[in-house]
Amino acid sequence: MPEPVDSRVAVYIDFDNIVISRYDQVHGRGQFMRDRARGFSPADRQADPEAAEKLALATVDVGAIIDFASSFGTLVLTRAYADWSAPVNADYRGQLVNRAVDLVQLFPAAAYAKNGADIRLAVDTVEDMFRLPDLTHVIIVAGDSDYIPLAQRCKRLGRYVVGIGVAGSTSRSLAAACDEFATYDALPGIKALPATPVVEKKAPETPAPEKRPSRSKKTPTDAVAEETPKDAVPATALVFSGPDIAAAPPRRRASRRAASPDPIVEDEPEDEPDPQDVATGLLERALRLGHEKDDADWLHSSNVKTQMKRMDPSFSEKALGYRSFSDFVKSRDSIAEIDESNTARLVRLLPALADN
């Protein structure tokens, strides 16, 4: 009888992506670029303790990522792609060296080489799949939608693809392209971010316009000037410059103002659906599919969870606040019920819903 073959895992980390995404998650969208955190040297930290503390709060735990990757099998290679001459990346030297991570240097060829790591990482991954035919798992640590074709190609070549990204900075399309997707926040050992209260800012009061002395004769220009406050914004300043832009509908101007220069967050709608509601709908669909396929009254909970992971690789009951899948199902007692009378835990859709 042949011995079971141990899974062999390759890990590819878009380091800039994960570091920038984590910083923006902790301190607000786009703050990494605004704070110019990439070039913050040790000398700058001594001069600005507040900025140093912000970097420390957003530090990525590389060990937690590698430990999670090792749960899939033996790590045969682990690579991280970044410009390691940047001070913010050089700070991770200790973590990376201790975990034997292979560092791939990417010197930026332009002022901002957005796709440098994406292309190099994708080329290396495809080459490794042909060079190492015994590779079984490919783990991509990034949230950029540019990696969707790579994930699809890895699956086509028979590899099990796992994605890891920071919540709020990950393309939903990338999560769907993977066999399994985990958020960095839900990894074992990662502490939850403290809730930050939202402080409403009051608009500054506009001072009353100064009165000008009356004149015996007023020209039309003088009349307009007296009626307009000194600090009032001209009407032409409320719209964007350009030909016929003042006549554009309000929706066009609003969409321009809403455009964000942040290159990390992509393909995300403005109003995110509630994760709890999404998981509830996912459970109901999985149960309906299971009942239709197996034609059985009760389904094994493990099979139901597997089906949910197939439909949405980013699903994780622990990320939703539940210790086990059984606890997750119990919390959805309005659509499902669980039978714990025997060792094999069974679950089914409520009969009242199954008939609909």
Structure confidence at residue 271 (pLDDT):
64
**CATH value of 8-186 in 3.40.50.1010, 3.40.109.10, 3.90.45.10, 3.50.50.60:** 3.40.50.1010
Q: pTM for the full model? A: 0.69
Pick left, alpha or beta for residue 163 (phi over 0 → left; psi -120 to 50 → alpha; otherwise beta): beta
Q: Where are the alpha helices (DSSP H) in 259-330?
A: 275-294, 301-311, 325-330
- Which residues face 183 on adjacent strands? 165
**Is the pLDDT confidence value at 231 over 60?**
no
Structure confidence at residue 314 (pLDDT):
87
**Is the pLDDT confidence value at 125 over 90?**
yes
Structure confidence at residue 213 (pLDDT):
52
- Which residues face 137 on adjacent strands? 9, 160
Convert the pLDDT of each residue in 213-227 to its tens digit. Answer: 555 455 555 544 455
**Mean pLDDT within 94-120:** 81
Structure confidence at residue 115 (pLDDT):
62
Q: Name the average pLDDT for the chain.
A: 79
Q: Of all helices (H) and strands (E), which one includes residue 8?
A: strand 8-14
Convert the pLDDT of each residue in 17-42 to its tens digit. Answer: 999 999 999 999 999 999 888 888 77
Residue ranges covered by each domain of the chain: 8-186, 275-354
**CATH value of 275-354 in 3.30.420.610, 3.30.420.40, 3.40.50.620, 3.40.50.720:** 3.30.420.610
